[in-house]
Structure 1
């Protein structure tokens, strides 16, 4: 796949609101994307999930020599993108002629692009569902589906390896809310749950949920609740471990001083 500048495709083709464009093609993918304008992160991830399961058509480079056409790579906004459409006629309208496309599932295309630093342009060319998905976002989507496949998202933190305890700055609000919701259901099984960031002796760092006062039989359910929060918030890209502490562990008071207690309460 070689990149090229495309005269007919410019940065102004990037996402528009439904009110700005008269939609010719009404599709499930288009309506799911439209919901992201008035929604939040949940609606955005619903769009990604719909795209992953959708049959889409990748624009091919039919000018290359040989019997096999490869996906055409465009340079747009100083980054490289493949283009795909949920209706093949949209590719014809963008190119101004009968375009060569190849059908594929969105998830298969995500896997193809993973690790290549190539993004994906969906329905480009003036439709209300036109959007650019960066290579970084594709990595995050693939990481999310890796977690759904059963790879562990949460590990037990070894408090003896902590070198420094820090406030959990830049922790995603959506994930923190999800943690509060999940832990609320188990609030009778532990004393406190504190969110913090820890630096380890070997040099790495990461976010920790430190839970004090949990009995051994309850710890598995608590760890599972933290993992469920990661999945519910679609933030499998965040490294989050769990540390269990006894009520008389001196580390517990240190953690509470620098961390943020997760308030286990229902939100209206």
Structure 2
């Protein structure tokens, strides 16, 4: 089984436990990772109880990074959703990741920090930009994190465009415009970008998020200066008409 992004981030963190960048990357990947939680009993409807283990006298919810690693009843949710669910309860997280002999323990206070640091959400704009330019001056760490986050959003939209922007009020920053977002996908896409910015280690970066339809006139301007990320699901694209020979 291929190593998951969460397992890679955890391995890097374990090699560099005092490296702030490695820790932030672990939290960023964890926030967007799909976690599989074994359940203590079958549960009824939405009323489920995740399996826990004690570590240092503190309860930790057990979570895996792959469905095949668990037998029996499970629940699946993102790392951020789990952190928000456990916020303030004094419960940590025990990550059982492929390739690691022992679970990686995330302390309750770390989960609380993650939930509260990402609680605000990104800036989502409806106003039209005054001028668009090629993206410039964004830290490499943020671009890498954005690329990873957008890869996780495959199938949730057709594409995303990144450009520098000047707004009519005189402010400047960067704009990430999603095109053709699927119904119900706007909130998780926006939350993912918020996490990418907040946990990339980049400071004083303004990144606004907007959602555009295929016929929006701004797209022609973005295509001239912006950086495009293709988010179409490869499996979905493969269902298109056959190529003519």
TM-score interval, normalised by the smaller of the two chains = 0.3 to 0.5
TM-score normalised by the chain length of structure 1: 0.43
The TM-score with structure 2 as length reference comes to 0.46
Higher-helix-fraction structure: 1
